[in-house]
A and B are shown apart, each in its own frame.
Chain A
Amino acid sequence: MINFVLRKIGSTAIVMMVVAVIVFVMIRVGPGDPAAVIAGDHATSEDIDRIRRSLGLDEPMLYQFLHWIGRLLGGDLGQSLFSRKPVLELIAGRLEPTLSLAATTMTFAVCSAIPLGIVAAWQVGRWIDRAVMALATVAFSFPIFIIGYGLVWGFALKLRWLPVQGFRPLSQGPAPYLTHLVLPSLTLGLVFMALLTRMTRSTMIEVLGEDYIRTARSKGLSQLPILFKHALRNAAVPIVTTIGSGIALLIGGVVVAESVFAIPGVGRLTIEAVTQRDYPVIQGVLLLASLAYVLINLLVDLSYGLFDPRIRSIP
């Protein structure tokens, strides 16, 4: 088990290293010259050279890379080209809305998708299965903003139950905090739910066909313990894996949902950085988003031992 854990941590570190290389190379081999972009349209070539020197872009590539990695490992993501604030500070200031939205979305999606997937697998081929699958395919195909504006139109503008947009920090009380999160997390959660429902259903269908399920049935066990104790536990590993790899989708979705609902989170920061071509901020967001994704998937890999004793006994 310890070997298993160490190997997983090692491969996670390698993936992060590759991400760092990709992010570094991307900015430097892209057709746009950062120095020229910062200098603006009316800059002379001396201006561009001066900016290039001040950014260290005239140094040899390998030297730049090692220097950059050294600062990254020290927790220094550089500073914004425009506001001159440290990138880490800028991102930290936008974390609350983004993490809140991600957490509520995830809770909603997991709590709805797993029961739906189980019911669909249990009733496979019947109308309820078809209805669940149709809902999942539609939710997966329609763009987040169309679903979002649809919900806003219904629940915020017509029924007036919920606020149209914006975010309230938790420090202003739990009620406004939660009401502002309902529509964004419902919008984003539908997409994530669709993905998870499909995966839960197909895994459960496969598991329900196994011999030990037939044994459980022939022992006379009733439907519920078979579904939840015998089948779900054996379907847990692929389901949890899908939740983990879905984090990438969730992070991307958060960027769009924050734009739809005017939530001042990391996603909005990214879009602002992209329109201003604020390279250090773009790099910082890419690195931290990938780090979050990779760490969550490390936890997912390590959690397999909880569900499957066979993995615990891997030397």
Chain B
Amino acid sequence: MTSADIATPRLAFSRTKRHWLLRGAQRHVTVVIGGMLITLLVGTALLAPVLATHDPLALNVAHRLRAPSAEHWFGTDNLGRDVFSRTVYGGRISLLVGLGVAALTTLIGSVLGLLAGMYRWFDSVIMRIMDGLMAIPAILLAVAMMALARPGLLTVVIAITVPEVPRMVRLVRSVVLVIRELPYVEAATAIGARMPRLLLRHILPNALTPIIIQATYVCASAVLIESYLGFLGVGIPPEIPSWGNILSDGRSYVQLAFWIIFFPGMFLGFMVLAINMLGDGLRDMLDPRLARRF
């Protein structure tokens, strides 16, 4: 037998696999559009120092409330700061908050969910706490938490994460409850797999798809809630140009200078839309059972 004989079936396999992915992408236009939008918006955020035409913090009172022009693409705000530069820099903060919250929620939610799914006593305690947390409206809870601590980037991330955790815990727990009864877990137990290994090697990888999908939704929701906190004036310290803070600065001038909130608002809306579309698309592609449920 030559090596080519062995290589041929492998190649065929990889081709069908690519076909499957390509077909998936064609069928799920949302993933492609969402992904492209995200790439574009993340690109502008990452390239903010190159793209920005002005210093996002530089005051220029002589140029205050200027309408969009060749000099100031998105106009200037009440202190004469360049709205375009602030918007592209603001994307970095909002993305950082979104990713931070998604990562933290996924970490805490997965750990608690896995434990709740595996240990009954832990389950009854932790799920009661999660029920209580879910009963407090998310924005109210986040706003209240901001009142308790020194405002800062980390505080905002924590204040948004806490209300998001219960849904992740519930999701992971429900998935674990299904997986732990599957024959292969029984088989793993039978050959002597112990708890940490059983959880990390056998159960977690199979629960990953719904966790990733949920994490994208958490990220979208976090970007949105950061803007609400900023808008309400209780978010990240006002000197940092996050999208929420730019919108908060602009709201008093909305009738005079709509561009201060219009452009960052559009960036924000399209960012959340893109992440949601990616989440919807991923769900349809990776988990048809979940797609039918929602």
A residues apposed to B, CB below 8 Å = 14-19, 21-23, 26-27, 30-32, 137-138, 140-146, 149, 153, 157, 198-199, 202, 205-206, 248-249, 251-253, 255-256, 259-260, 270-271, 273-275, 277, 279, 282, 285-286, 289-290, 293-294
Does B148 count as interface, using CB distance less than 8 angstroms?
A: yes
Within 8 Å CB of A277, what residues of B? 147
Q: A255 to B232, alpha carbons, bound, how many Å?
A: 9
If A145-B247, A146-B269 touch, does A30 touch B143 (CB 8 Å cutoff)? no
Q: A252 to B227, alpha carbons, bound, how many Å?
A: 13
B269 and A252 contact, CB distance less than 8 A? no
B233 and A275 contact, CB distance less than 8 A? yes
Q: A249 to B234, alpha carbons, bound, how many Å?
A: 19
Does B101 count as interface, using CB distance less than 8 angstroms?
A: no
User: When the two chains form the complex, which single residue of A138, A253, A290 contacts B273, counting CB atoms closer than 8 Å?
Assistant: A138
Within 8 Å CB of B147, what residues of A? 32, 273-275, 277, 279, 282
Q: A249 to B134, alpha carbons, bound, how many Å?
A: 11
A interface: dominant SS: helix
Does B146 count as interface, using CB distance less than 8 angstroms?
A: yes
B137 and A252 contact, CB distance less than 8 A? yes
Shortest Cβ distance from residue A116 to the other chain B in the assembled complex, whole angstroms: 16
If A15-B131, A286-B141 touch, does A145 touch B265 (CB 8 Å cutoff)? yes
Within 8 Å CB of A271, what residues of B? 143, 232-234
Shortest Cβ distance from residue A255 to the other chain B in the assembled complex, whole angstroms: 6
Q: A180 to B224, alpha carbons, bound, how many Å?
A: 26
Please, how many residues of chain B have a CB less than 8 angstroms from a CB on the other chain? 49
Shortest Cβ distance from residue A296 to the other chain B in the assembled complex, whole angstroms: 11
Q: A145 to B144, alpha carbons, bound, how many Å?
A: 20
Within 8 Å CB of B280, what residues of A? 137
Within 8 Å CB of B251, what residues of A? 145, 260
B132 and A251 contact, CB distance less than 8 A? no
A289 and B149 contact, CB distance less than 8 A? no
Q: A242 to B246, alpha carbons, bound, how many Å?
A: 33
Does B228 count as interface, using CB distance less than 8 angstroms?
A: yes
Does B293 count as interface, using CB distance less than 8 angstroms?
A: yes
Shortest Cβ distance from residue B29 to the other chain A in the assembled complex, whole angstroms: 10
Within 8 Å CB of A143, what residues of B? 224, 227-228, 231, 247, 265, 268-269, 272
| Chain B residue nearest to A252 in the complex (CB) | B139
Shortest Cβ distance from residue A251 to the other chain B in the assembled complex, whole angstroms: 4
| Chain B residue nearest to A285 in the complex (CB) | B140
Shortest Cβ distance from residue B256 to the other chain A in the assembled complex, whole angstroms: 12
Q: Which of B254-274 contact A (CB under 8 A)?
A: 254-255, 258, 261-262, 265-266, 268-270, 272-273
Between A21, A27, A145, A202, the greatest number of chain B beta carbons within 10 A of the residue's beta carbon is seen for A145
Q: A22 to B131, alpha carbons, bound, how many Å?
A: 11
A18-B135, A143-B224, A286-B141 known; 19 new pairs, CB 8 Å cut-off, are A14-B131, A18-B128, A18-B129, A22-B132, A32-B147, A141-B220, A142-B268, A142-B273, A145-B231, A145-B251, A146-B261, A146-B266, A198-B294, A206-B293, A252-B137, A271-B143, A275-B234, A277-B147, A290-B136
Cβ contacts A to B, 20 pairs, < 8 Å: A14-B128, A15-B132, A16-B135, A26-B144, A26-B148, A30-B148, A32-B147, A32-B148, A138-B269, A141-B224, A143-B227, A146-B261, A206-B293, A252-B137, A255-B139, A259-B232, A270-B144, A271-B234, A274-B143, A293-B137
Within 8 Å CB of B135, what residues of A? 15-16, 18-19, 248, 290, 293-294
Shortest Cβ distance from residue A19 to the other chain B in the assembled complex, whole angstroms: 5
| Chain A residue nearest to B271 in the complex (CB) | A141
Between B137, B149, B254, B255, the greatest number of chain A beta carbons within 10 A of the residue's beta carbon is seen for B137
Q: A199 to B251, alpha carbons, bound, how many Å?
A: 33
A137 and B276 contact, CB distance less than 8 A? yes
If A143-B224, A251-B140, A255-B143 touch, does A32 touch B150 (CB 8 Å cutoff)? yes
Within 8 Å CB of B255, what residues of A? 157
| Chain B residue nearest to A277 in the complex (CB) | B147
Q: A26 to B227, alpha carbons, bound, how many Å?
A: 23
Binary flags per residue of B210-245, CB closer than 8 Å to A gives 1, else 0 = 000000000010001001100111100000000000
Within 8 Å CB of B270, what residues of A? 141
Within 8 Å CB of A22, what residues of B? 129, 132-133, 136
A286 and B144 contact, CB distance less than 8 A? yes
Does B10 count as interface, using CB distance less than 8 angstroms?
A: no
| Chain B residue nearest to A140 in the complex (CB) | B276
| Chain A residue nearest to B144 in the complex (CB) | A282
Shortest Cβ distance from residue B209 to the other chain A in the assembled complex, whole angstroms: 18
Shortest Cβ distance from residue A25 to the other chain B in the assembled complex, whole angstroms: 11
| Chain B residue nearest to A145 in the complex (CB) | B231
If A18-B128, A143-B231 touch, does A249 touch B269 (CB 8 Å cutoff)? no
Q: A275 to B293, alpha carbons, bound, how many Å?
A: 41
Within 8 Å CB of B132, what residues of A? 15, 17-19, 21-22
If A137-B277, A142-B273, A256-B232 touch, does A26 touch B150 (CB 8 Å cutoff)? no
Binary flags per residue of B122-160, CB closer than 8 Å to A gives 1, else 0 = 000000110111111111110111111110000000000
| Chain B residue nearest to A279 in the complex (CB) | B147
